[in-house]
Each structure stands twice: as structure tokens, then as C-alpha cells.
Chain A
Amino acid sequence: MADIKVPSPDELSQIKHSPPLLKGWMSTPTVIKPGTYCYGAQPKNLEAVGFPNARPWNPLDADWKLPDNWKTIIIEGIRERISRFRSFHIFMDICVRCGACADKCHFFIGSGDPKNMPVLRAELLRSVYRREFTTAGKIFRKMVGARDLTEEVVKEWWSYFFQCTECRRCSVFCPYGIDTAEVTIIARELLNLLGLNIDWIAGPVANCFRKGNHLGIEPHAFKDMMDFFLDEIEGITGIRPEPTFNRKGAEILFITPSGDVFADPGTFTCMGYLMLFHQLGLDYTWSTYASEGGNFGFFTSHEMMKRLNSKMYAEAKRLGVKWILGGECGHMWRVVNQYMETMNGPVDFLEEPVSPITGTRFENASVTKMVHLVEFTADLIRNGKLKLDPSRNDHLTVTFHDSCNTARGMGFFEEPRYVLQSVCNNFFEMPEGTIREQTFCCGSGSGLNAGENMELRMRGGFPRANAVKYVQEKHGVNMLANICAIDRAALSTLMEYWAPEVGVTGLHELVANALIIDGEIERTTNLRGEPLGGETEEETEE
């Protein structure tokens, strides 16, 4: 991995956004270039979940060892999906190529590769749909934008549908709401039928299926890692929370992405959860079986998404909890909001969530029975149930990154901002057109946060980073808050590359820093072991 050199920001920002004048895209072959693709799925990871056509293969090889009947598989696969997804069917038929989406994609802005324009990304598949499923396409071929399905086309699909992070920004601008994410999801399903996943997705899926989380953390290790956080928390606050695991009879099951348990700065967010729940005296439990909020199955196929997601309700039922509380995560919440209850419901064994602290009924979660932690915390703050000292975050000037999935797959804008502004004093928005429903992706979503495609990630994250850099220069922003585990991992690398000196934090890390816990010792550092915001000044004054 390390041997793939990432070009410098200067080199990378030599981007041309004018496609070739005379050479059409259909006659432009796809080149799979190191740094911009993810390694192919290893057979063991596909076999682990019973996926077909598992085999070792290398995307750089000419021969991808496709099964003999690959063409039939794809065509029948498209046929089946046309009847299953009206979204896909309509999106194949009605695009007028107005180009409104063209410059809305972060991958196009960051790479200038015309096949990264959402409209063209969809045309890669649409051209085959026309050829196989429309009369005009069968007769007039290229004249109506139809082309034959060849191995080259499959390679092109693999390349470009794993250069889309399913962020839905294009869909906001499309006059018909055509959602490239939907097209990408279907295309990836088709590729999976041929065993053509990327390992960065297939691996986590296999892990999650068997071990309960993407990272493959086994139950005892999960508890160990949590113990480490408890030590840290105890060192800083003098308080040792006592979380429980797989405890039957708890009121609430808490599920968050395993990334929060695994790597900085997500770990600080995880400590934040533990501290908040301790202060509330919440009757809750973690689960090692359902120890993953995220769902890389969503980046594989609808079926795989359902298979992984099923654990949430299954575990809630087994443990006999009343409702589920979900941590900070992007695509997890797209799945919870738009898919979960339809896939794995109805959930008559849970109750409509009620905050045990404030008594607030979460009527907006009356069917899924799952509440977003940020909603939960916003409600606590609103009802004055938390003692907060935002000045502890005074060394930070914070901006907020709306995660694609919670923004455009949920509409989660005010809750995080309310919490953020309650726990820190210096908050500045990034420019309009780069936040809320028009927010830019971190460039690494939908399973593309691997190491080997770092150039691609830095390109895709460029628009986001550029907006951060703007507020960094204008307002001195030095912290990028977010509510997504992939963001916490991906944005850190991205900031280092494009906007050095800007840190990345989960929202509940800031909450925990500001939170005054009953009986805590006087804090001198934040969760990262850095001196507290107001503290340094006071010390010099004294």
C-alpha cells in the first residue's frame, strides 16, 4: 500500500475540467491507475457470505477471469432490478442530459475526469440498458447512445462505480431527482454477481457478518478496547464509567460504528458516549454481536445490507430492551432512516422511544424505535439536563461538516448545530453551497476509505477541504466537527493533506469535554490530553 505515491497537493490541483473536444466518451478506454482504485475482493471474503464467483483477480490484469456466462448474469441482473426498483427503471429512462449535475460531483471537481460527472457515470450503465432493453437502442445503437456490453464496459463500471461515494449531491440538483447513488448501488449489485467487489468493502462485510463489526473485533477484544477508554476517562476525570455488554433487561441498546472503538479521533467520540451515559445514569447496554452501526452491506447489495442490519433488531429482541439508541454515523443513519424498518421490521417487541431523563417521546421514531444520539442529546440540553462548560472548548474554532447521508438521506441539520453551539463558543459555518443539503462528501464514503486509493480520496475530498480551508483562513477554524465515523477517519487524512492544522472531531467528543460530571476531579486536559481551552489563559493570569 505504502508504495503507491500520492502526488503533492500542488501536483494534484492541476485539474482541467474541459473534456476532450472531439473524442467521445464511448471511444475513450478506461485506464485503471494505481492510486485511484481499490484492490479487488479476496475470494475468502466473498465466500464468507456466500457470494458467487469468488476468485483471486487483479484489476490491473487484462484478464479478470469473468465467469463464462457473465453477460447473461449481467443482463438478467438488470432485468430483475428493473422490476424491483422503480427508481432504477425511471432513472434509466428519463435523463435528458441537461448537465445540471455535471459539476456537482466532488470526484469530478477534484479529478476533472468527465466520466465522474454524475450524468456520465449513469450513462455508463444506461448505454447498456438502452442496447438490451429498448427497441430504439437495439436498432439505432450508438446513434441513440446505446452500446454493446463488453468486458471493457464491465471494467469501466467497476472503475467508476467505485469512484462514486453514493453521496446524493447530484440528486439534489437534478430536475427529476435522478439519484446517482441509486444507480451506483444497482451497478455494484451487478458487479457483485460477477465477484467484482473491492476488498475494502468485502472484508468489512465478511467481518461484520461473522464477528458483528467491520473491523472483526471479537467480543473479548471489544471489551478490552472499551476498558482502555475507561482508563483514559478515569485519568482525566477521576470517574470510571461502568458500561455493560450484552446485558439482558437493559432499557436501551446502544449501537455505534465500530470505527469509534478502533481509531482516533473516533475513539474520543466513543469516550464521549461513555461519559455522557455515565453522567445520565442511563440503563443501557452495548452489544458485541450487534457491535456495528455502519453497514458496508449497503455498499454491496440491498440483500447484504439487510443481512447485516438484521442484527440490530435481533439483538434488541434477544436482550429485551425497550428501544435502540444509535451513535454518530452517516450511512448507518441513511440505512436506519430509509431502509431498516422496511427490511427487517415490523418491530412489535420494542416500544416507542422515550427519553428516561426528560420524558420526551421520540414520536419521529415511533416505528423504527431507534433514536439518533444527537437528537437525544439535543433534547437533554434543551431540557437543561446537562451541566456544560463550553469554555473548555475555547481553544477550538469549530466548523461543522454535514455528512452526506444524514444530510440528504435524512435532513439532519439543526440538531447537531444546536448541540455544537451549546458545547463550544466559537462556531463558524462553511460557505453556502458547501453545507447542509449541498454539503460535500469527505471523498471516502461508501467503502472507498482504503489506503491504496489515496490519490482518489484526496481528489474526491478536495471540494470539502477547500471549503474548510476557506473558513480556516477567514475565521481561524482549527476543528472540523462531524457526526460520521467514516468522516472522522477520512477527514483527518484529508485535512492533513489540503488544510493542515485543522483537526477532526466527533460531536460527542466536544460534548464530553464540556460536560461537567458529578464528582469529577478538576480537569486539566481534554480527552486528547491537550490543555483545556480556557485553562492556559487562566494559569498565566494567576
Chain B
Amino acid sequence: MNFISGIILSFITVLVLVFIPFFGMQVANLQFVFGVIIPYAAIVLFLVGVVGRLLLWSFSAVPFRIPTTAGQQKSLPWIKPNKIENPSSAAGVFGRMLLEILLFRSLFRNSTMEFREGPRVTYEWEKWLWLSAILFHYSFAVVLIRHLRFFTQPVPAFVTMLESLDAFMQTGIGPLPGLMLPGMYLSGIILLAAAGYLFLRRVYIPTVRYISLPTDYFPLFLILAIATTGILMRYLLKVDVVGVKELALGLATFHPVVPQGIGVLFYMHLFSVCCLFAYFPFSKLVHLGGVFLSPTRIMANNNRFVRHVNPWNYPVKVHTYDEYEEEFREKMVEAGIPVEKE
């Protein structure tokens, strides 16, 4: 399996998935299946899957306190410890995790190695991975939260506020009349661009190309498909959003309804989202939960002054001093080394 077959395989898989509802609608009127049954199934799978994954992880012990220290330890009082990069307390760990989860601290360190004749090797700060990752995740979060307007009535204030921030660029005027209406959301465009970049770097950076699996391309393609169908629906091909909200609210209130005439594009979008949710717990995407539990990040470097207990610590066979002395007693005595039994 090389990168070309990996890309083709995942691309075709996503293409097939996206068009399943298209044919489902053409051949039979499966609105209820695609609008109600599959979304419920997907969200149940997502919840059960992620919770199950967290539980599975929780069944694994944490025998040792093994933080990766990235700053000065707490030692003598006149040496300033780095409380965040080398936390010695729960507060420090909290700070470290806050930076890690909100700002992708570790990824921010990323450098790129350049190997030249000489030989000479240099390292430069590389920000594109961090930038694209943070844009990708934040725009995805904004897109998700924005979608709450379909699932809530009345729409909570934080959703409308986020929406108006997201759409601060008023378009619709200018070279493309009518295209970016209603108000353009930056998040959608950024999501598309960042996911696109994350895909491109998988292809053009040789090392990343080599390590990429079909399961790396697949979620990117799926997310690109979701963003594309979403953007098409909003700005170009248009669907009946009132119908969409009726359907979404129906799902959220357990009074499922399937309004007629929403448009097949919506079902393609919804089905792709369902695929992503259902796929999530069984893929690398569980890093969402894993990052909160990673022992090298969430533990304090305080093992020398706070006891850590290994729940499965068991007695081991050791070579006792008595056994040692038994073997070397004569030599020890001769060398003037004190012994227990003369």
C-alpha cells in the first residue's frame, strides 16, 4: 500500500459514502432512514463509542509517574522552577494542560530539520503544522457550535453571538453578487482551507507521505466533503433551511419529523456527518479524549516528594545482600571490607 493507493482508496470510499443518500433518494424515498434513523444511530454510536473508549483506557493502570519534563524541575529554593513545562503540583499540570489543549503548546515547538553538505544540520521553527492544526480545530469547533441554531429553539445567546462574530465580514456585495449570501462564515472557509492544507502536507512532505495511512486521508476527505456540501448548501445550491431546522429540532426533541422538499444535498451533508460521528470512536480521532489522559502530560514531576502508588506492584525476585556476601565473603574479608558473618 503506497500513498497513491491510500489516497485513491479513501477518496473513493468518501465519494461512495457521500453519494449513498443521493441514490437512496433517487431509488426509494428513504428520507426517514437518512433523516432520522441513521442520525440517531450515529450519535448513539459516537456517544457509546467514545465513552467506551474512555472506560477502556480507565481500566489500564498508571503504574508510574512519567511526565515528559520540558523545563526546570523544582529543586533548591533559589532555583526558579518552570511550573508549567515541568509541573510539580496539580495547579501546574492544569496550566500545562490548558496550554496543551487550548494552544497546542507542544506542537508550537515544532521545528524542521535541514541537512546540508558539510555535514551540517540546522533546525528552524516550523509554524505551519501548528497554524493549520489550530485553525482546523477551532474552526471545526465554531462550525459545530454554530450548527446548534438548527437544534435549539430559542437559539442560545452564545450561539448567536458566535455566529455574528463568525460572519463579521459582510459580503454579498462586490464581484460576486448573491454568492456569499446570507452573510459569509469565516469558519467554514477556514475549515476547508486548513483541512485542505493538512491533506496537501501529507502529500508533499516526504516523511509525512511515507507514514500516512488510508485512515489518515479518510477523515480528512470526509471532513472536506462535509465542509464542501455545507458550503454548497449555504451559498450556492440552497436548500430549505426551515425544513432542515424542523428535522433537526425534531431529532433533538425526540419528535422526529421529515419535512418534504429539503433537497438531496442536505441528506448528503447529513449522512457524511453521521459517518464521521460513527467513525470517530473507532479511529485515531479519539485523540480528542486521549489527550486529556496522556500520562506524559497530565502528571506532575513530583515523584521524589509525593508518593505514587503502582496498583499492580508485585514482589520480585531479588539478589539479597546475604546471597551476595555468601558468594564473596572470603574476598571481602581479605580486602578488609566489613561483612555480616565472619
Asked if A and B form a direct contact in the complex, defined as CB atoms under 8 angstroms apart, the reply is: yes
Contact with B along A218-242 (1 / 0, CB 8 A): 1110011000000000000000000
Q: Which of A32-40, A149-157, A306-314 contacts B (4 or more CB under 8 A)?
A: A306-314
When the two chains form their complex, are residues A96 and B321 in contact, meaning their CB atoms are under 8 A apart? Answer: no
Distance between A131 CB and nearest chain B CB, rounded to angstroms: 13
- 8 Å CB interface, B59-99 against A: 59-66, 68-76, 78-82, 85-86
When the two chains form their complex, are residues B208 and A174 in contact, meaning their CB atoms are under 8 A apart? Answer: no
When the two chains form their complex, are residues A220 and B211 in contact, meaning their CB atoms are under 8 A apart? Answer: no
Assembled-state Cα–Cα distance A83/B60 (Å): 4
Whether a CB of chain A sits under 8 angstroms from the CB of B157 is: no
For A120, what are the chain B residues with a Cβ–Cβ distance below 8 Å?
210-211
For B341, what are the chain A residues with a Cβ–Cβ distance below 8 Å?
none
For B72, what are the chain A residues with a Cβ–Cβ distance below 8 Å?
411, 413-414
For A310, what are the chain B residues with a Cβ–Cβ distance below 8 Å?
316, 318
By beta carbon, the residue of chain A nearest B201 is A99
A98 in contact with B133 given A85-B63, A179-B66 (CB within 8 Å): yes
Contact with B along A195-228 (1 / 0, CB 8 A): 0000000000000011110000011100110000
- 8 Å CB interface, B23-66 against A: 53, 56-57, 59-66
When the two chains form their complex, are residues B68 and A171 in contact, meaning their CB atoms are under 8 A apart? Answer: yes
A103 in contact with B290 given A87-B295, A245-B337, A382-B76 (CB within 8 Å): no
Assembled-state Cα–Cα distance A182/B62 (Å): 12
By beta carbon, the residue of chain A nearest B321 is A289
When the two chains form their complex, are residues B297 and A172 in contact, meaning their CB atoms are under 8 A apart? Answer: no
Whether a CB of chain B sits under 8 angstroms from the CB of A265 is: no
For A91, what are the chain B residues with a Cβ–Cβ distance below 8 Å?
294
When the two chains form their complex, are residues B109 and A136 in contact, meaning their CB atoms are under 8 A apart? Answer: no
- 8 Å CB interface, A161-193 against B: 168, 171-179, 182
For B3, what are the chain A residues with a Cβ–Cβ distance below 8 Å?
22, 24
When the two chains form their complex, are residues A103 and B207 in contact, meaning their CB atoms are under 8 A apart? Answer: yes
Contact with A along B252-289 (1 / 0, CB 8 A): 00000000000000000000000000000011111100
Assembled-state Cα–Cα distance A310/B275 (Å): 52
A409 in contact with B304 given A17-B207, A50-B317, A86-B61 (CB within 8 Å): no
Q: Which of A342-350, A420-428, A475-483 contacts B (4 or more CB under 8 A)?
A: A342-350
For A346, what are the chain B residues with a Cβ–Cβ distance below 8 Å?
307
When the two chains form their complex, are residues A109 and B121 in contact, meaning their CB atoms are under 8 A apart? Answer: yes
When the two chains form their complex, are residues B110 and A411 in contact, meaning their CB atoms are under 8 A apart? Answer: no
When the two chains form their complex, are residues B301 and A17 in contact, meaning their CB atoms are under 8 A apart? Answer: no
Whether a CB of chain A sits under 8 angstroms from the CB of B214 is: yes
By beta carbon, the residue of chain A nearest B336 is A223
Assembled-state Cα–Cα distance A306/B64 (Å): 12
Assembled-state Cα–Cα distance A83/B57 (Å): 8
Distance between B99 CB and nearest chain A CB, rounded to angstroms: 11
Contact of B61 among A85, A97, A219 (CB under 8 A): A85
Whether a CB of chain B sits under 8 angstroms from the CB of A474 is: no
When the two chains form their complex, are residues B335 and A418 in contact, meaning their CB atoms are under 8 A apart? Answer: no
Assembled-state Cα–Cα distance A246/B331 (Å): 14
For A339, what are the chain B residues with a Cβ–Cβ distance below 8 Å?
64, 303
Whether a CB of chain B sits under 8 angstroms from the CB of A269 is: no
Distance between B220 CB and nearest chain A CB, rounded to angstroms: 10
When the two chains form their complex, are residues B332 and A219 in contact, meaning their CB atoms are under 8 A apart? Answer: yes
Assembled-state Cα–Cα distance A379/B76 (Å): 8
Distance between B204 CB and nearest chain A CB, rounded to angstroms: 11
Whether a CB of chain A sits under 8 angstroms from the CB of B296 is: yes
When the two chains form their complex, are residues B133 and A368 in contact, meaning their CB atoms are under 8 A apart? Answer: no
When the two chains form their complex, are residues B214 and A343 in contact, meaning their CB atoms are under 8 A apart? Answer: no
Assembled-state Cα–Cα distance A212/B318 (Å): 11
Whether a CB of chain B sits under 8 angstroms from the CB of A434 is: yes
Contact of B303 among A368, A408, A437 (CB under 8 A): A368
Assembled-state Cα–Cα distance A246/B328 (Å): 13
For A411, what are the chain B residues with a Cβ–Cβ distance below 8 Å?
69-73, 81-82, 85-86, 301
When the two chains form their complex, are residues A408 and B68 in contact, meaning their CB atoms are under 8 A apart? Answer: yes
Assembled-state Cα–Cα distance A245/B210 (Å): 56
When the two chains form their complex, are residues A364 and B319 in contact, meaning their CB atoms are under 8 A apart? Answer: no
Distance between A505 CB and nearest chain B CB, rounded to angstroms: 23
Whether a CB of chain B sits under 8 angstroms from the CB of A247 is: yes
When the two chains form their complex, are residues B303 and A109 in contact, meaning their CB atoms are under 8 A apart? Answer: no
Whether a CB of chain B sits under 8 angstroms from the CB of A315 is: yes
* Max count, chain A CB within 10 A of own CB: residue among B216, B290, B325: B290
By beta carbon, the residue of chain A nearest B56 is A89
Contact of A90 among B73, B295, B319 (CB under 8 A): B295
Q: Which of B111-119, B182-190, B236-244 contacts A (4 or more CB under 8 A)?
A: B111-119
When the two chains form their complex, are residues B205 and A99 in contact, meaning their CB atoms are under 8 A apart? Answer: yes
Contact with A along B289-317 (1 / 0, CB 8 A): 01101111100010111111110110011
Contact of A176 among B109, B213, B291 (CB under 8 A): B291
Distance between B205 CB and nearest chain A CB, rounded to angstroms: 7
When the two chains form their complex, are residues B70 and A172 in contact, meaning their CB atoms are under 8 A apart? Answer: yes
When the two chains form their complex, are residues A364 and B332 in contact, meaning their CB atoms are under 8 A apart? Answer: no
Assembled-state Cα–Cα distance A105/B107 (Å): 16
- 8 Å CB interface, A330-387 against B: 336-339, 341-343, 345-346, 360, 363-368, 370, 375, 378-379, 382
A82 in contact with B211 given A103-B113, A173-B109, A368-B304 (CB within 8 Å): no
Assembled-state Cα–Cα distance A20/B207 (Å): 9
Whether a CB of chain B sits under 8 angstroms from the CB of A451 is: no
Whether a CB of chain A sits under 8 angstroms from the CB of B129 is: yes
Instruction: Pull 17 A–B residue pairs with CB atoms less than 8 Å apart, ordered by A.
Output: A84-B60, A88-B60, A97-B212, A102-B211, A120-B210, A134-B282, A175-B106, A245-B337, A310-B318, A314-B320, A338-B66, A341-B307, A367-B304, A411-B71, A411-B85, A418-B79, A466-B120
Contact surface of A with B, Cβ cutoff 8 Å = 13, 15, 17-27, 50, 82-91, 93-100, 102-104, 109, 114, 117, 119-120, 123, 134-136, 142-145, 168, 171-179, 182, 209-212, 218-220, 223-224, 245-248, 288-289, 302-303, 306-307, 310-311, 314-315, 318, 336-339, 341-343, 345-346, 360, 363-368, 370, 375, 378-379, 382, 407-415, 418, 431, 433-434, 437-438, 462-463, 466, 470
Given contacts A26-B1, A145-B213, A246-B337, 16 further A-B contacts (CB under 8 A): A17-B207, A22-B2, A88-B60, A90-B60, A93-B286, A94-B294, A97-B208, A99-B211, A102-B211, A103-B113, A117-B211, A176-B106, A177-B68, A341-B307, A364-B75, A418-B79
Closest 8 interchain pairs by CB?
A411-B73, A94-B290, A411-B69, A220-B335, A13-B119, A177-B296, A19-B210, A99-B208
Contact surface of B with A, Cβ cutoff 8 Å = 1-4, 9, 53, 56-57, 59-66, 68-76, 78-82, 85-86, 100, 104, 106-107, 109-113, 115, 118-121, 123, 129, 133, 205-216, 282-287, 290-291, 293-297, 301, 303-310, 312-313, 316-321, 324-325, 327-328, 331-332, 334-339
